[in-house]
Structure 1
């Protein structure tokens, strides 16, 4: 499939005079031509040299290098970007009719919003603004320019090209424009927006930054390139400088989509739910290495034997990796893509999960992401999160437990309350989460609906004046401490006792 690099080579074959101008930009993509007038002279002389050779039979003939000299009127020389709109992989589009390309002034706090159309002057007459061999496809300097006009130029290599002529006063520091490419209505391609901001202007060069406002890369060779700073040098006596910048590629901004559903809206511990993931290829290219990352809610456990993959109506092989609550599904074959994208088959993943009692501590929120690589240009495409919430009902199973305890006077220092050892009413116990519990008239307290795990409680001695922690001759680890720790099993019960003894007069509290 031809790309724009092939197109540049075709120009060189037909136009030796363009060799010195275009060869700088051959390796990176779309050549952009800027003509900028020197400020010190009234006329600019452009020197262009070219050489060629050809072969007839066994004999090779060489042509001596010639020099072409062109004089330009400095007062009328303009600045003109020249480029071409191509498809996702750098290929020419099948039909350019209805595709509009325009330059707008940038507005907004970040200068990322479209302002008014940039006012351009008609192309000058009598003075060629382009070097020999370069065709002005927009001689009337229209803004916006309909790329469909290039279909009638009779040269297939000019299809999709565009150029605008800018005045010298429009090249200034902080001048910011937005290049917009708009497909016709009903096209499966999305529009492009690229911000062009000039950051420096020097006698022999100027610098600008191109930013992709649409999330698509600026280079087919570097899928992560969303912005690029370029400095444009100008030779001492050259009025034209050729350099390479972003690809004007038209593609699908949203090339993949993911949705998630389940077979029920609420679940209970001990039950089973079935999740369905739908992955839609919205691009004109097949997608390789498609990977779905799915994070299950707390207490949901994958039933690995239940995983099934489908592409269209055919079974698909999936590689499944489980890491705790994180599951990764990888398709072992590409997701087909074509034109139009709405005819691409839908890919689906179906699996079942078991709901454990731990689900009662979670929120039932499931999150899934998808990513893959386009086959035509190797760009990585992503979508997500796809979120699905299920309600969690207690049912007959709950992992919440209860802590019971008492504050009492321990007369024999064994840590247990026996007959004749009274409870201490209105004693205050603080739990580790800040909850404040007061004992009843018998010194008893309880805390319901407590999560399983380790918990700690501290006796507030100011609430039991005249008492101190009792020595414990049976459990040395708890001897005369103010706190207690217990481990609560799921759905279980734990005991937290505080033994106290009356203060001996004169003893430190």
Structure 2
């Protein structure tokens, strides 16, 4: 391209036009025009003493001669272009370019990539419009390419310029606030507490790229971040180091600001003193499966939640990652909180016991609030759980505050058991009263009060009362126990339990012991003494006793059986082996109610004796006396006594009736034998009176009485056909010889 440089500061003009304009002033012969073709022309023109150098051009002549225009192409550049979002029309290559002094345009020039130049990746160039752009996602850096602008009617008349574009990936920011969500609504409200001094960590994958501390208002901000990255934010308690939840997949665009990445610190709960209602630091908490095995670190969003120790706030937090390990499956599984309390405390609380678990939050709104707020509960019976049934997708559980009792052990409760009855029979109702007393200055909660029934006794439905108010117990252990669950025994007070039991038909006589005891409702351990009440089961007049009836009759024929016409004898006294005396009525009858309670399997013998001193004068019993009978439980038996007026034979015997060896003389024996063989069998009373001689010793008297009795008994047993006689042997000091004397 030819150009003319003037030293006057004038605009440059195309050479042909310049020459034409000055020809009238120059006495130089030149062609009428500068032709394109194979003609090389060089002209030097002086203007105002300066030299103008016309560029030499080798042009090939065509069928048509064309004037060559003066083209000026100016380099173009653009800076700070956002490569993430890209930008169309960053610049136009026609800007600043001219042709013959006029702005170059698409209708006056032809624009294209310069020969040998390539368009960089991510850079767009429209040769029709001259627009240059940057595609979205273009990496940061400096991009350049050359373009040429050519004369339309002289395509080889071109000028080359360079386009330079600076592409950047601007920094992004991320910010938010850490606060304690007092009402559990997940929003930062006026009533929520902003937490200063908390550690906020920013991760790109597993790489920690930044850690800052929240200011006094709980605010944090990360700057200078790269766009197009998914970040994870973790929030760590500065005292305990435990991570309290995290925000995942935080996506930042290039040159973007992502505010309000707030974290409501919802501690799963606070460990606190059940009496003072203050936070308890130093408690170690972990989660265990239903077999009591601690969960591995992989089950938590951060290993710091495993075996975490509470700080001054008493707060704890668990976040399970379902499926992260076999111990934390995606499907529903049962977990429990295990607390190792610090010195001087015990878990679980017997002042504020847990709710029966496990708690299942499935289907509930998120988060699930167990307590009323994030603060330590002040109500008398706050709810909380220590076991849960969780699965993937379940909502968070918050405000589950755990109380610890401020003592390692507790005094036992005192149980007493009483009954207003001391004995009972089958079918009787027996009232009982259990008193559970707490002598400590702290209440005892979650107490199971149990009445252990003795075998054969059953509970009368609807009879139970607790402090006078109807309260039915539960039947347990094969209906052998009555249980009042979840009882609260106030401090320094007692609770009374009343019930009525029925003595069943299968109960035998003896002692029945009813027992009362208190147990810990959480683990079933006994927390009291065993109070007992004993009653004696006595025979029932309806079901167990054997009745005995009979009659004392006048046995005319002496056969021992009451025949027709043999009347009863009144006012005869009978005696039992227990010393009970019975007198026959006007008809000679007697009745012994509940004479005995025989053995239920084989019955029992019963002995009854007729008091012969009450017989009419001259009468004797016509059979054995006493008599025995086999009694059967619950049955009535009959035992009669026959008496008859007897023949009385009195024998007077003295020392002369005895031989020197102590035996009876033969003639005395013969006379005794004659008595036994005498006549018609009848009732007989044989009275033998031994007259004591002055020289007899007591031993001699006793031996002689025994000899007389033995001989008479032997004689009448072997020779007498009638009823067994009544043999009476007595010693007397009388000297008068009576009828039948056997001393001579």
TM-score norm. by structure 2 comes to 0.26
Of structures 1 and 2, the larger Rg is shown by: 2
- Structure with more relative contact order (C-alpha pairs < 8 Å, separation 6 or more): 1
TM-score norm. by structure 1 comes to 0.35
Q: Determine which structure has the larger strand proportion and give its number.
A: 1
